[in-house]
Structure 1
């Protein structure tokens, strides 16, 4: 007695991947799970980064004399977190002629305004906030 060979339908299913392979189903489940975890992790990292971001805007400056500049600026920071800012004074060629690191305690206000005096080594023509960060 001869064993019957595969049917035409079996050969077509095998050729075009229409068979019911449990390994393929697990591969799809594992791949989808990895994609969901990756999207969740990316979302969480984006949220954490945005929640600890500090935004600083220079609102004005005043050249007091050739040895100091008063800088006015506003920061927006996470509630209750202390913040440090690097502020600087520049001359007309954009060379740094003075700088300071200033630190502020945490607050229950999201946005706060400050005025700081920067000592300079030469006459400045501008003052600005270089950067701010959560400490």
Structure 2
């Protein structure tokens, strides 16, 4: 009498069919883990800047207020710009913010301009 094991051996139905599925599952888990880690690592080093307002001091300067939220315990650098009516850059300043104890810091900086500005804003911030 032939058994199921004999029939499987005769027609090539062995446990090798599972091997590609096991390998594919392991690769999928590694990819999900790698993408998850990259997302977490990128967000840990990101800095967010929110414009709080601006005040035109005179035709050659504008005062820009903003809040920086991000990495605690590391220095942050921000590029602050003054723009004219046509959104052209008429002044900019690099602001270095030393590391603080809080997660968020508010700053106000005066940006010198070459022409009259109509607004001021933070272009970008990064960890120094």
**TM-score w.r.t. structure 1 length?**
0.83
Paired with 1:51 and 1:35, the residues of 2 have a C-alpha distance of: 25
- RMSD (Å) for aligned C-alpha atoms: 1.5
1:30 paired to 2:23: yes
In the aligned structure 2, how far is the partner of 1:33 from the partner of 1:107? Answer: 43
Q: How does 1:58-69 map to 2 (within 5 A)?
A: 58-69=51-62
1:42 Cα deviation from its structure 2 partner: 0.4
Q: 2:125 is matched with which residue?
A: 132
Structure 2 unaligned blocks of 5 or more: 1-6
The one-character-per-residue Cα deviations of 1:42-98 (angstroms, maximum 9, x if unpaired) are 000000111111111110111101110000000101111111111000011111000
Q: Aligned partners of 2:15 and 2:120: how far apart in 1?
A: 69
Which has the larger Rg?
1
Matched positions, count: 120
Gaps of at least 5 residues in structure 1 are 1-8
Specify the alignment match of 1:20 in structure 2: 14
* Partner SS, residue 105 of structure 2: strand
Distance (Å, rounded) in 2 between the aligned partners of 1:28 and 1:83: 47
1:104 is aligned to 2:110: no
Match of 1:56 in 2: 49
